[in-house]
Amino acid sequence: MLIMLRKLNFTERARIPRANVRVTLRRDADGTLLFDPRLSFDGIDAVPSTRVFIEAYYRTSFMRFDCGSIGHFTPPEDRRLTDIDGTSLVHFRVKLVDNEGNEHRVVAVADDIVVSEEKPERAGRMPLLPVNFTDALGQQAWRIAFEPNGPVLELNNRLHDIKEVAKSDAAFFALVYPAAVRQVLTQILLVDEHDAHEEGEEWWNLWLRWAARFASSPLPDDADEAPLWIDDVVDAFCNQQTPIDRWRAARRESG
Amino acid sequence: MTRLRSLNEKGIDELRGFLQRIRDGEEFQANPAILYLDDYSQRLPRAIEIEPRAFANKFEAAEYLAGVLADVPAPDDDVGLWSWLALFYFDQLSPIDAGGKRRPREDYHYIPSTESGGWQHGRHLLAGPYKLYTLHRRNARLLLHPPVHQHGAFIYDLGFRRDLITNKGLIEAIDLLYWDTKRNRPKRGATTPSRPGNLRRLIAVIQQLDFNFDLYGMRADEILQILPPEFDAWRPPPLLTPGEARETAFLTRAGES
């Protein structure tokens, strides 16, 4: 049974709008990954002395950067992500901390800002399916990894030219993306049995809202009907993206 | 004394085969040649001497290695260096069990995993403790109390949360709560699920407090102050000022008389 619920926030901390946060990744001359943050504190109810921390994490690795205060935002010069395990995908958390009176109280947070080296995070947008190129897939070309912050499309970087293939190969799109969409929606509705929150910003809510744009019927109340709804979404997604037509056209062009 | 070396690709392949052969029942031979042959390993640019030692626990091993490696870079993903060290101390990292056999664990306990962000990362039996020791020094003694070939409950429970295990104030608070300074070992029951205020409860409570408090920026005493009463039994006795100590001693003597 899928239920629409309004989410309640029992913590005292506020949410920093995603549109206020822009983070990009790049490599320095030595090839070390580093990040560049741009933050706006507009609309955030906090005093200028509120401390600003940016935390970077990926799976079990973690780094934290003291970026001064709201009134004097000064990210450190050394923003190299040396302790983040080798990856092209990094999660960021921006934390505003009121330390007046040494209370260390978190007043606002923006979490799960997923930034890919290949596809910079744009203000106010979060990729639904970030891509991570990895050498840990053995003989698998791709797989969906379900991490606490949402699904990640892992691609085997032992495949020649995989970054280019993922970006522009019509056959790759046709074979991978519809299957990936189906797997993620199946995970949300049938495996995890998530409720569809009306205002939630959890990854599954964002996915369900995205999928609902394609579906010809509303999200079913009955879980037994969820597979049909998922079929409908994948079908509409393919009708919009026309992967088969694009694949055939690409073959004609190359042949 | 032996000059520290680093296994090359061929040496690492050989180590993988060595581990498999022992799993298959082949007898273990101490000091295999690949430790010293240039075909399989090379000397470090800087001469570092290392000696065979019997370590009482992970802390002792990490403390010794931190001294030996003080002047050379030794990141935990240096596959050649840590694989060589694992082979050098292999008799301790895979000791003979009750059945009279060595049973090596998965390869990543001896050869650092290069999988990006995978859970095997940091599970190397020497590189992991070394990293914890260099980060927390004496406060890592609780995490590193088990023998070198084991991980122990504290690392199992904390190791997957990098924001917790790198939090210096929190690790010191955990040391203050659960380390028995008199017996020089973890307090009894610290990881017993039925005991109120055990380590797993602490992790659960810390994760709740993390919503409203910037734990990473807090000192150990500040973290201890915000813990709920279920942890009172584990708290260290408050430090007394010299005046209070004199008063307490006087009252104790008066009570005895």
Domain boundary among B65, B91, B114: B114
pLDDT at A85 over 80: no
Whether residues B162 and B56 share a domain: the answer is no
pLDDT at B120 over 60: no
Nearest residue on chain A to B122, alpha-carbon basis: A60
Domain annotation covers residue B98: yes
Identify whether the C-beta of residue A25 lies closer than 8 Å to the C-beta of residue A33: yes
Over the stretch A191-218, which tens digit does the pLDDT of each residue have?
888 876 555 667 888 888 889 888 888 8
Banded model confidence at residue B243, pLDDT cuts 50, 70, 90 = low
Whether residues B20 and B99 share a domain: the answer is yes
Mean pLDDT of B90-109: 89
CA distance B157 to chain A (A): 13
Over the stretch A144-180, which tens digit does the pLDDT of each residue have?
988 777 888 989 888 888 888 888 889 999 999 999 9
**Residue, of A168 and A95, whose pLDDT is higher:** A95
Whether residues B193 and B100 share a domain: the answer is no
CA distance B2 to chain A (A): 31
Domain annotation covers residue B144: no
Domain boundary among B66, B91, B114: B114
What's the pTM?
0.69
Whether residues B103 and B6 share a domain: the answer is yes
CA distance A151 to chain B (A): 15
**Residue, of A202 and A86, whose pLDDT is higher:** A202
Whether residues B254 and B178 share a domain: the answer is yes
Domain annotation covers residue B123: no
Domain annotation covers residue B146: no
Mean pLDDT of B25-37: 84
CA distance B219 to chain A (A): 10
Mean pLDDT score of chain B: 86
pLDDT at B257 over 90: no
Whether residues B99 and B163 share a domain: the answer is no
Domain annotation covers residue B80: yes
Domain span including residue B181: 152-257
In chain A, residues with a C-beta closer than 8 Å to the C-beta of B214 are 51, 53, 95, 97, 99, 104-106
Mean pLDDT score of chain A: 83
Domain borders along chain A are 1-124, 128-255
Whether residues B2 and B105 share a domain: the answer is yes
Domain annotation covers residue B230: yes
Of B114, B121, B212, Cβ closest to residue A13: B212
Q: What was the pLDDT predicted at B100?
A: 84
Mutate to test the interface with B, among A58, A60, A83, A147 (most CBs of B within 10 A): A60
Over the stretch B181-237, which tens digit does the pLDDT of each residue have?
999 999 999 989 899 999 889 999 998 998 899 999 999 999 999 999 999 999 987
Instruction: State CA B249 to chain mean position distance.
Output: 38
Whether residues B185 and B253 share a domain: the answer is yes
In chain A, residues with a C-beta closer than 8 Å to the C-beta of B166 are 62
Domain annotation covers residue B32: yes
pLDDT at A67 over 90: yes
Whether residues B178 and B247 share a domain: the answer is yes
B121 with A61: Cβ contact below 8 A: yes
B214 with A87: Cβ contact below 8 A: no
In chain A, residues with a C-beta closer than 8 Å to the C-beta of B217 are 51, 53, 97, 99, 104
* Number of domains chain B contains: 2
Domain annotation covers residue B168: yes
